[in-house]
């Protein structure tokens, strides 16, 4: 447990010089793990249909906010390295396999991903007004990025496009396998 | 759109003081600088901002002060053997919502331009500064000015709520861009000037004007504005251009800096505006693709937010105008 949850923070925030809201947006935009996790969820939602997409859009943003604010910023809980790898593996694997999930399960998945990634980012946030604005920027970026992914992916309904989306999913899963391997080799290390 | 309108209207609480403070140092003799320090006034009080250097610097003349309308100007002579490499900090900026533009002109003709903000209150004076980094200062000022200027954002949002099709959208945004670029250039180059208080009241009125038009548009009614939103965008765009110009004109930049400052600032404003329009359209399309059905109150919220804030600002600014007149 000591390895899983420590209070020391290593993560750092991006400074754009444009203020904390932009810093939060830039932090998300420059974090591959965040982009891949949210992008993977969007792929999965796009394969399943608009109801899944609508639920995932609001759920992932809301739980990102909660995860960053409560376990991340307020409690300082840190997510072990193995968790992002598992997130990639599960989200990418489900997209690659084109699994027909019910809406409730895909919503729970979006909530879990939002909570985990939000918590990972929340530990680096200062507990002042700048931290709150940073969090607002970050959550807005998650919402907008998910929505933009949906706009790009969803209208393409051809069979080939569906295969391309599944290939992207398998790439995410493969990234998860690699990360999992690295995290097991360096067992005990904690990262963001 | 509702979320965006609420988000941007919440910028009320964090609204930037649109007139930045301005610090200019001109090296007349080696190691000796004429300092001009211009700070905006809040009512009868000067904003409590003071420049500080990290290294050796000493004032060799007493500070002379004057207060033209809306600003306090202090001038003195500063001796600093090596200003390059020192850090400049604006004390008091961290607790304010304003920015400070800094311009140092050295005897060898090189200059340093920097914008300090509440989040970045100090900067090191470099040995050299590229033209691009000077342009970037004004570019970010332009982006910041539109994205944090809640009134400009709400006006653009209001237009987007009225416009019915892509062609009309292109015409409307182009008309707004052309109009505000004209008055931004005219005001910055000093050919025309509009006092800040009546200008702000007129800008608020432009937002209030859009409120009833948005409601008419929902009800399926028509009006001159709904049929020709580009005309309204052009007319009010002229006003908003004067508003954008206040960020540059209030500083009193030297003539030599104006072309680069104007160009970069305007490009920044356009980047901010196009990003906002692109963002709103993309989100609107995403909601359509996802077949999200909003409750009635959420659908009407953006229009009422635009109208209510426009009314609030109009009353507030007209009261200030009348108070000032008395």
pLDDT digits (tens, 9 = 90+) for B98-133: 788 888 888 887 888 888 887 788 888 888 777 777
Judge whether A50 is closer than 8 Å to chain B, CB to CB: yes
Is the confidence at residue B325, as pLDDT, over 60?
no
- Predicted confidence at residue A13, as pLDDT, reads 61
Using CA coordinates, name the residue in chain A closest to B122: A17
Between residues A138 and A17, the one the model is more confident about: A138
Nearest CA among B61, B88, B86 for reference residue B75? B61
Bridge partners, residue B27, by sequence: B33
Model confidence pLDDT, tens digit, residues B178-197: 999 999 899 888 888 888 88
In this prediction, residue B16 has a pLDDT band, given cuts at 50, 70 and 90, of very low
Which residues in B have their CB inside 8 Å of a CB on A? 7, 117-120, 140, 143-144, 148, 279, 282-283, 285-287, 289-292
pLDDT > 80? residue B4: no
Comparing CB atoms, the residue among A19, A140, A151 nearest residue B117 is A19
Q: What are the beta bridge partners of residue B26?
A: B34, B105
Phi, psi (degrees; rounded to nearest 5) at A48: -90, -25
- CB-based contact B229:B217 (threshold 8 Å): no
CB half-sphere exposure, A126, CA atoms < 13 A: 10
Judge whether A60 and A114 are in contact, CB under 8 Å.
Answer: yes
Residues B309, B11: contact at Cβ < 8 Å?
no
Mutation choice for A interface testing from B15, B115, B286, B291 by most A CBs within 10 A: B286
Q: Quick check: B51 and B89 in contact, CB under 8 A?
A: yes
Q: Which residue has the higher pLDDT, A11 or A179?
A: A179
B260 vs A168, B179, B256, B257, CA distance in Å? 44, 20, 8, 6
Residues of B with Cβ-Cβ distance to A131 under 8 angstroms: none
* Residue position matching structure tokens 């489900």: A94
Model ipTM? 0.73
With 0.80 as the threshold, say if the pTM is over it. no
Query: Which residue has tokens 């935009």?
Result: A29
d(Cα B79, Cα B194) in Å, to the nearest integer?
A: 38
């Amino acid at each position: 447990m000591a390895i899983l949850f420590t209070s020391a923070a290593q993560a750092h925030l991006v400074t754009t010089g444009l203020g904390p809201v932009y810093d939060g947006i830039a932090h998300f935009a420059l974090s591959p793990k965040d982009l891949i996790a949210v992008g993977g969820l969007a792929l999965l939602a796009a394969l399943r249909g608009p109801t899944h997409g609508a639920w995932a859009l609001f759920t992932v943003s809301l739980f990102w906010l909660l995860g960053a604010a409560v376990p991340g910023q307020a409690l300082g809980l840190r997510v072990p390295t193995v968790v992002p790898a598992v997130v990639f593996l599960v989200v990418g694997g489900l997209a690659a396999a084109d699994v027909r999930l019910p809406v409730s399960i895909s919503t729970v998945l979006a909530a879990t991903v939002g909570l985990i990634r939000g918590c990972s980012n929340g530990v680096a946030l200062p507990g002042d007004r700048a931290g709150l604005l940073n969090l607002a920027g970050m959550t807005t970026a998650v919402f907008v990025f998910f929505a933009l992914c949906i706009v790009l992916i969803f209208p393409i309904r051809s069979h080939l496009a569906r295969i391309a989306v599944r290939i992207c999913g398998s790439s995410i899963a493969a990234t998860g396998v690699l990360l999992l391997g690295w995290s097991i080799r360096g067992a005990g290390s904690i990262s963001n | 759109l509702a979320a965006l309108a609420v988000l941007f209207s919440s910028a009320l609480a964090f609204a930037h003081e649109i007139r930045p403070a301005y610090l200019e140092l001109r090296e007349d003799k080696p190691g000796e600088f004429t300092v001009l320090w211009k700070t905006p006034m809040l009512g009868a009080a000067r904003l409590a901002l003071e420049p500080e250097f990290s290294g050796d610097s000493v004032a060799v003349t007493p500070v002379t002060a004057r207060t033209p309308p809306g600003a306090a100007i202090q001038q003195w002579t500063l001796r600093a053997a090596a200003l390059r490499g020192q850090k400049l900090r604006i004390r008091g900026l961290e607790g304010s919502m304003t920015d400070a533009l800094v311009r140092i002109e050295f005897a060898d003709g090189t200059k340093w331009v920097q914008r300090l903000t509440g989040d970045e209150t100090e900067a090191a004076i470099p040995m050299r500064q590229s033209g691009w980094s000077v342009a970037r200062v004004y570019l970010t000022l332009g982006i910041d000015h539109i994205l944090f200027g809640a009134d400009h954002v709400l006006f653009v949002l209001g237009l987007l709520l009225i416009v019915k099709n892509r062609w009309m959208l292109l015409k409307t945004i182009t008309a707004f861009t052309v109009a505000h670029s004209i008055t931004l250039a005219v005001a910055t180059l000093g050919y025309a000037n509009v006092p800040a208080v009546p200008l702000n009241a007129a800008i608020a009125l432009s937002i209030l004007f859009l409120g009833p038009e948005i409601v008419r548009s929902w009800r399926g009614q028509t009006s001159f504005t709904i049929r020709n939103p580009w005309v309204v965008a052009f007319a009010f765009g002229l006003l908003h251009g004067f508003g954008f110009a206040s960020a540059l004109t209030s500083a009193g930049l030297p003539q030599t800096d104006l072309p680069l400052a104007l160009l970069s600032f305007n490009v920044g404003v356009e980047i901010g505006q196009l990003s906002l329009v692109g963002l709103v359209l993309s989100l609107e399309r995403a909601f359509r693709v996802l077949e999200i059905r909003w409750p009635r109150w959420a659908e009407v919220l953006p229009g009422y937010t635009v109208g209510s804030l426009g009314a609030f600002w109009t009353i507030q600014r007209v009261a200030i105008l009348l108070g000032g007149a008395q």
